[in-house]
Amino acid sequence: MSKYRVLSSVPLEFRGENPATELLEEAGFAVEVRPPIDRSWSDVVETTDKLADIAAFIAGGEFINAETLAKADDLKIVARNGVGFDRVDLEACTARGILVTNTPGAMSDAVADHALALLLATVRSIVPGDRSVKEGGYDVPIGQDLAAMTLGLVGCGRIGAEVVRRARGFKMRVLVHDPWVEAETIAAMDATPATLDELLAQADAISLHTPLTDDNVRMVNADFLGRMQAGSYLINTARGGLVDEEALIAALKSGHLTGAGLDCQETEPPEGTSLELVRLENVVAMPHSASKTYAARGAMSVAAAQNVIQALQGKGPDNVVNKEVLEKLNLER
């Protein structure tokens, strides 16, 4: 019988192949995959019960906090199957000596592709055009060449860098605002470093590529939107909580913004204000699916499995978010 049990709330099999499970089983662990019926285990009791008696959890969108960790006495690692970890209470995990990891880089290409797809869909009226043809019409509003536009990126990590590469392929001018990235690094991407004021004033479209933190909740507020160019576009493949949705609705209804491409919403699935937002005609909305490709999901699952293996073998995983636990457990990187 295996020493450790590993539970995953996300699928680990793609096109008949199961590399993540194979890695975990080869390491001697028992693997159980219990995907949620919907997007995640939203019920606190359900999540709490499922986290009992397991050593590692490959997590989707569950809320991991002091309440849901109440029975997780054997849990050593929460391996997020993705980049964001805003639903994981790092303080609670750290207090219990639980490592939290993510999978940066595994989904960069997929999300960057998605950001450009949303940009093209909004600028060229792809959804209204499709609807027009199917309903017997045959026209769309006049659009714009991407090559004639300036794209502004707020945040430029691995995904942002791939967006820059693709945007430059479309001959767009690209501005980047990211205080954590050196100006020389941005210039080497063939982009231009910019202050937020410069980016808002000059960009024809702004794409968000920053994690959601306590410091930037609803950073895209009425002031931010008001300083964007009239007629510009907002693209969000990061987190819905970055946007003040009531302010965005106002900007879209007034015509100050021409459109928005939103892969994520503050409430998922959309309810209330989020639902009002995605139903606007000048919004292209997707169900938080930017990473939903075979290549990305396969790579993410393997990266998460590798993090689990390293942790359960007493080594420091490559992608630890709460690094304090490494020192607490005296694990080597």
Q: Which residues are catalytic?
A: 239, 268, 288
DSSP 231: T
Contact (CB, 8 A) for 188 and 176: no
Contact (CB, 8 A) for 245 and 278: no
Residues 293, 299: Cα–Cα separation, whole Å: 10
Residues 161, 167: Cα–Cα separation, whole Å: 10
Contact (CB, 8 A) for 237 and 207: yes
Cα 19 to chain center, whole Å?
23
User: What does the block give as tokens for 238?
Assistant: 């990061």
Contact (CB, 8 A) for 220 and 244: yes
Q: Residue 89's CB: how many other CB atoms inside 10 A?
A: 19
Question: HEC states along 175-206?
Answer: EEECCCCCHHHHHHCCCEECCHHHHHHHCCEE
CA distances from 28 to 3, 95, 145, 308 (A): 7, 28, 54, 12
Residue linked to tokens 């965005």: 248
Q: Which phi and psi angles does 201 have, rounded to 5°?
A: -75, -25
Q: Residue 42's CB: how many other CB atoms inside 10 A?
A: 12
Q: Report the SS3 class of residue 129.
A: helix
Cα 12 to chain center, whole Å?
19
CA distances from 109 to 158, 187, 310 (A): 9, 20, 25
Residue linked to tokens 């995640």: 40
